[in-house]
Amino acid sequence: MPTHKTIIMVSVISLLLLYFFTCRTTSSQDSSAPNVPSCDADGTAYRQRLVAVGDLHGDIDNAKRVLQMAQIIGGDSKWVAGTDILVQTGDIVDRGAHADDIYRLIQSLRGQAASEGGKVVSILGNHEVMNAIGDWRYVTKDDIARFGGTKARQHALSAEGWLGQEWLANYSITALVPISSHPSSPTFSFTHGSLRPSYANLTPYPAAINNLGHSLLTKALTPPMAPPYPPNPYSGLPKGTTHEETDLYAEGGPLWWRGLAEREEVQVCEWAKELKQKIGARRIIGGHTPNFEKIVARCNASVIIIDTGISSAYGGVLSALEIIYTLTAVDRRGRDHSQDPFLFSTGSESMAGLKGRFIEREEVHAIYEKSRKWLALEEREVVLD
């Protein structure tokens, strides 16, 4: 007959085994986050968190609510996310009255994040470029008033103004964001619209697209800028726009195309596979096409569309995408102590001395006001030398 001590030992071992196997289970189906263990056990050598937020369209209150629920800012709107990465996928402007406040908030967070080893990545949306070229159809009267009138707003957007300078210095059409500094680290592609596999200037990625975007934006923001439409006639793209720059802003370009969000799943998965091979990204993430109920993950989360109509102009759900990346030593002998998260400022130096076999774990979540849903969970073994 088993002793009381034996029963206790068996129970403890059973619980440990249950915890271990539960932590190793992977699933791409939505489930409530509290039901899944976090598995932050000893042996985690590195951890990096990335948060991405979609279209905000002039709603500063909802923008702050989203950043707070994603634990990027505190109640005082200051950065509290340490070494996290924040990506915003464009369309901050239009439809709402407080785009200026959101741009200044992001501008402030960029500096705060950098001082703590974090990073803010800003993407241009089609509405940023529309405003740059004088297409003000979706600009509200309150927005213009907050800038101090039409002339003052146009100056702020110009290459001589605070917002135009911010766009030119810190915003791009697309971004390839690494989650760590080691060469085999996963990278994530961010664009406002959808990347098209047959787009002529897709590669070298992201430089080809971003060089065109910066050139077009510079032409648009250099005074004298196009008079705003309405009430003036639409001027179109700025003088001197090249054929390649025109294609960038066309319906099939990365600012406007919706193919990855709207086409049939089989076709999207074929495109995703082709894109991932061409640009070297593990996941392709964008906004632009709203689903007012949830973040949409397609093709095992190879494609993720994060526009949920956050602005009160749409009335969609508040949401943010979260990716948590960890490396855990397979052979923990001599390597079971925690390390600092990957710091972009130190580049490859952050990996100094880290060698051996590791389990790379990538958790992808959709964060909402009252829930946190799993979109993907992947593990693989990697070797660092």
Three-class SS of residue 227? coil
pLDDT at 41: 47
With the C-alpha atoms ordered 236, 238, 243, 244, is the resulting torsion angle positive or negative? Answer: negative
What are the pLDDT digits (tens) for 45-96?
999 999 999 999 999 999 999 999 999 999 999 999 999 999 999 999 999 9
Residue 243 tokens read as 């054929």
Q: Nearest 5°: phi and psi at 144?
A: -60, -40
Phi-psi region of 43 (alpha: psi -120 to 50; beta: other; left: phi over 0): left
Domains of the chain from N-terminus onward: 34-384 (3.60.21.10)
pLDDT at 44: 84
How many angstroms separate the most distant Cα atoms in the chain?
93
C-alpha to C-alpha distance for 17 and 337, rounded to whole angstroms: 23
C-alpha to C-alpha distance for 359 and 47, rounded to whole angstroms: 12
What are the pLDDT digits (tens) for 166-220?
999 999 999 999 998 888 889 999 999 999 999 999 999 999 999 999 999 999 9
Burial class for 45, CB neighbours closer than 10 Å (0-12, 13-18, 19+):
buried
Least confident of 18-32, 98-112, 122-136, 147-161: 18-32
- The answer to whether 357 and 330 are in contact (CB under 8 A) is yes
Indicate the length of the chain as a whole number: 385
Alpha helices in the chain (DSSP H): 4-24, 60-69, 99-115, 126-132, 141-147, 150-157, 162-170, 207-221, 243-249, 259-262, 265-279
pLDDT at 354: 77
